[in-house]
Amino acid sequence: MVAADQESFFATAPPLGDAVAVAAKLQEFIARNSSRSHPSGKRALPRTTRPRCGTHATRAGLSFHRTPEGLANPRASLSCDVRAEGGGRRRIVCVTSGGTTVPLEQRCVRYIDNFSSGHRGAASTEYFLKAGYAVIFIHRRGSCQPFCRFLPDDSFLNFFDITTESKVQVVESHTTVVKKAIGEYSKAIEGGSLLKLPFTTIFEYLQLLKMVATSMSSVGLHGMFYLAAAVSDFYVPWDSMAKHKIQSAGGPLDMKLSQVPKMLSVLRNQWAPLAFCVSFKLETDSEILIQKAEMALNKYKMNVVVANLLATYKEEVVVVSNGERNTIRRCSKDEDLEEHIIMLLEKSHSKYICSSADACSKNGYEKVIPLGIESLA
Amino acid sequence: MVAADQESFFATAPPLGDAVAVAAKLQEFIARNSSRSHPSGKRALPRTTRPRCGTHATRAGLSFHRTPEGLANPRASLSCDVRAEGGGRRRIVCVTSGGTTVPLEQRCVRYIDNFSSGHRGAASTEYFLKAGYAVIFIHRRGSCQPFCRFLPDDSFLNFFDITTESKVQVVESHTTVVKKAIGEYSKAIEGGSLLKLPFTTIFEYLQLLKMVATSMSSVGLHGMFYLAAAVSDFYVPWDSMAKHKIQSAGGPLDMKLSQVPKMLSVLRNQWAPLAFCVSFKLETDSEILIQKAEMALNKYKMNVVVANLLATYKEEVVVVSNGERNTIRRCSKDEDLEEHIIMLLEKSHSKYICSSADACSKNGYEKVIPLGIESLA
């Protein structure tokens, strides 16, 4: 059923305009980066190994409690030597970011959009790069970009001054932040560690994701998917879509939307079966959030689901894995929640590689079953 | 019917968060600017009075032909002395820009959006300011801003360099454009000629438009509305909207959307009956474009309707008024179509003020009926 749905989705979707060029860039990026070695564990971790903001761990069903020392500094508790492993093959993460649109007309004037600034994906990309990952950043056109998060929405010109010699310069108060951003951005671009691929519609997004995932299957356990994009659940199949702008003179509009085929299970089972997979769950109702996150974890065999509420997504997330919940809460507005999410995920990914590689050497590579994170406590 | 619909729209819409502050800013802006005198006709016009790009005029129903000299330089053909009038009361234009959203849930994760970058509204605002108008810029949050049109979508950091003395500077090749933009932006802001009011949803947009229009009624004939925003035709009334995120587990989605009450006739008849009104018509089907534009002209008693096709809206518009069509076509990518649209509209507005004022002095102020532009040829 799922397979038939997804086949029909791709068969009827308008093809990507620049598929050949994108595929070539992608192959080159993956080949180049996967032949490098991963920075050592010491460098890969952000400077502060102890999270500054509140991190709480709990087993599913129990009330939240402060984490034991082992989790606050998770490296201490890892059973195999992840630090040594850190020097192995370079890891690649595919970060998806921003909302997908669903066109309502083929010559599109109206579309359904999903709330997402792309801030989480952009910030996470910065921290993945710092942790030594190569990043494929699949992002919504016009959404928030890595190293540009400080950019104000509508007062770009406030960044500039004209000097007495009538030269353009950056306003003094913004110099530090701009200088830091340029330095880090240039390093990522010149070092060839960041590949940016833009999308707008659900059709473009899923075709890009499929292309990246099948290309990344060669990286095996060293690949990660960090699916922070807000992906449409409902859409109008291309072949049943109105060609022209829907006219309003015809009275109220009755719109029938189909479900977008759930691609997470296809990603897990077919496209990149060995990758470490992290998906996101955004809800508005706190009553159903954790339950929905655990459902996604089991149904789509994700390694981690990051659960967040629309009202508090900037302040708090719950990182849900097999039998484990870690709440990460921001203590001040100057902190990036993403720094702590990535810190936790990097360790979990290390452990996943280590455990799966152990299983590999015992059972043969082909039989490896993707694992969830076990308790780090 | 229309009155009942629009009353119910406003009665059930979630109220603007900062209505009191916005109203105060608006009153102050209008009072200050309408007490100033309008720059003389000579200054108000852009430097090039003869359009560089192709302008064609035609009477409705006739095929297009090159315009006579009188239209290419329309000032020459005006029957009353608009140049002298130019020194009168300062004109104020309300420019609306960008697309409105229609939330599908009260705690909104999904929404219907309308295709619009806001480029036309932003560019037009620049040319209205140059022509001496004070501008109230009602714009979609995050859409294109006046004097920032050169800003690239996703490579902001490419604008900067770090000098050998490790100071941040603007890259040489961008210096000219940034310097020009800062100069013009600062002039508009410091001169108090530009008021920016942001919206996201259809609810915010229509409440802002109503507030601005009723405030601008005091400016009478000297007010203009330039309605370039892409406004939703269909919406979900707030009180029948799902409170939480719609769950996808329930199968396909059947959405019933109501028509947004047509506010153009309310604007014309109640909110600002003396203002010069310009609306836009965007279609994807060239077969129905002009017919729909003329329908809007007659039905809503607009002075001008600017008609454009989605596929060519950057290259060509048809400016439709009573019995007249002017096609403005861009000859090169370096030209702004908006420069020529505003040039034409400023002249038409002058003529409108002049004719209506004549009618005023003959018939008494109360009886003035808004006029369309007559043929300028």
Kindly report, residue by residue over B27-51, the tens digit of the pLDDT: 999 999 998 887 754 444 444 334 4
Of A156, A167, A284, the CB nearest to B107: A284
- Model pLDDT, residue B62: 26
- Average pLDDT estimate for B210-214: 97
A110/B113 Cβ within 8 A: yes
B248-260 pLDDT per residue, tens: 777 788 888 899 9
A234 touches chain B (CB under 8 A): yes
CA distance B103 to chain A (A): 9
B109 touches chain A (CB under 8 A): yes
Question: Whole-angstrom Cα distance, residue B195 to residue B339?
Answer: 20
Alpha helices in B131-248 (DSSP H): 175-190, 202-216
Q: H or E segment at B354?
A: helix B337-363
- For the packed helices A175-190 and A119-130, what is the interaxial angle rounded to 10 degrees? 70
Most confident segment among A25-39, B155-169, B232-246 = A25-39
Quickly state the pLDDT bin for A100 (edges 50, 70, 90): very high
Question: Could you tell me where the beta strands, DSSP code E, fall in chain A?
Answer: 55-59, 65-66, 92-97, 102-103, 110-114, 134-140, 160-162, 168-170, 194-199, 223-227, 234-235, 253-259, 276-283, 304-309, 316-321, 324-329
Of B134, B140, B188, nearest in space to B180 by CA: B188
Q: Which residues between 149 and 168 in chain A have a beta carbon less than 8 angstroms from any beta carbon of chain B?
A: 151, 153-154, 156-157, 160-162, 166-168
Q: Measure the CA angle with vertex A118, ends A114 and A124; round to 5°.
A: 135
Instruction: Kindly state the helix (H) or strand (E) to which residue B352 belongs, with its residue range.
Output: helix B337-363
Instruction: Give A140's strand partners.
Output: A199
* Pairing relationship of beta strands B223-227 and B92-97 according to DSSP bridges: parallel
Residue B75: what pLDDT? 36
Strands (E) in A115-212, as ranges, are: 134-140, 160-162, 168-170, 194-199
Q: For residue A243, name the pLDDT band (cuts at 50, 70, 90).
A: confident
**What Rg, from alpha-carbon coordinates, does chain A have?**
22
Out of B109, B157, B179, closest to residue A168 by CB: B179
- Sequence-ordered list of residues with C-beta below 8 angstroms from that of A161, at least 6 positions apart, any chain: A168, A169, A170, A171, A172, B182
The answer to whether B326 and B56 have CB atoms below 8 angstroms apart is yes
Per-residue pLDDT band at B88 (split at 50, 70, 90):
confident
- Provide the pLDDT for residue A321: 94
Going by their DSSP bridges, the two strands A234-235 and A253-259 should be labelled as: antiparallel
- The token duo for B155 is 């490579």
Residue A326 is encoded by which pair of tokens? 């870690």
Whole-angstrom distance, CA of residue B149 vs CA of residue B260: 31
Cα(B349)–Cα(B346) distance, integer angstroms: 5
Rounded (10°) CA dihedral B75, B81, B82, B85: 160
Please tell me which residue of chain A has the smallest CA distance to B156.
A148
- Provide Rg for chain B, Cα atoms: 22
Probe site for chain A from B2, B97, B109 (most A CB atoms < 10 A)? B109
Chain A residues near residue B258 by CB distance under 8 angstroms? 252
Write the burial class of residue A189 (CB in 10 Å: 0-12 exposed, 13-18 middle, 19+ buried).
middle
Q: Kindly report which listed range (A143-152, B162-171, B214-223) carries the lowest average pLDDT score.
A: B162-171
Yes or no: say if B160 and B170 are a contact pair by the CB < 8 Å rule. yes
Q: Residue B9: in which H helix or E strand, if any?
A: helix B2-12
The band of A183, judged by pLDDT with boundaries at 50, 70 and 90, is: confident
φ, ψ of residue A38 in degrees (nearest 5): -75, 140
Return the half-sphere exposure (C-beta side, CA atoms, 13 A cut-off) of residue A214.
9
Per-residue pLDDT band for B64 (boundaries 50, 70, 90) equals: very low
As beta bridge partners, residue B55 has B328
Q: Does A231 touch chain B (CB under 8 A)?
A: no
Query: Does residue A175 sit at the B interface (CB-CB below 8 Å)?
Result: yes
The CB density around residue B3, as the number of other CB atoms within 10 Å, is: 12
Residue burial A199-237, b: 16+ Cβ < 10 Å; e: rest: bbbbbbbbbbbbbbbebbeebbbbbbbbbbbbbbbbbbe
Higher pLDDT, B25 or A45: B25
DSSP string for B79-132: SS-HHHHTTSBPPEEEEEESB-BEESBSS-SEEEEE---SHHHHHHHHHHHHTT
* Backbone angle region of B218, left / alpha / beta, with phi > 0 → left and psi within -120 to 50 → alpha: alpha
Question: Which residues have CB under 8 Å from A333's CB, separation 6+?
Answer: none
In tens, the pLDDT along A8-67 reads: 899 999 999 899 999 999 999 999 999 888 775 444 444 433 444 545 544 333 223 233
Whether B320 contacts B307, CB under 8 Å: yes
Question: Buried (b) or exposed (e) across B345-357, using 16+ Cβ within 10 A?
Answer: bbbbbbbbbbbbb
Partner residue opposite B162 with nearest CB, options A148, A157, A179: A179
Q: Which of B166, B186, B310 is facing A107, going by the closest CB pair?
A: B310
For CA atoms A140, A142, A146, A149, the dihedral sign is negative
Report yes or no: A246 and A340 within 8 Å, Cβ to Cβ: no
User: Which DSSP string do the residues of B60-85 spell out, in sequence order?
Assistant: TTSPPEEPPHHHHSGGGG-SS-HHHH
Residues A134 and A35: their CA atoms lie apart, in Å, by 11
> At A275, which amino acid appears?
A
Reading the block at residue A297, the tokens are: 């974890």
User: Predicted confidence band at B85 (pLDDT cuts at 50, 70, 90)?
Assistant: very low
Kind and range of the H or E element at A185? helix A175-190
Best of B5, B143, B157, B189 to disrupt the A interface (most A CBs within 10 Å) is B157
Chain centroid to Cα A244, Å, comes to: 34
Task: Give every CB contact of residue A92 below 8 A, 6+ residues apart in sequence.
Answer: A30, A33, A34, A133, A134, A135, A136, A216, A219, A222, A223, A224
Q: At residue A359, does pLDDT exceed 70?
A: no
Rounded to a whole number of angstroms, the distance between the first and last alpha carbons of chain A is 40
pLDDT of B373 above 60: no
Is residue A122 within 8 Å of A140, Cβ to Cβ?
A: no
What does the pLDDT read at residue B42?
40
Q: What is the mean pLDDT of residues B170-179?
A: 80
User: Which of A45-49, A150-154, B12-16, B137-141 has the lowest average pLDDT?
Assistant: A45-49
* Per-residue model confidence (pLDDT) at position B245: 76
CB-neighbour burial class of residue B344 (10 A; exposed 0-12, middle 13-18, buried 19+): buried
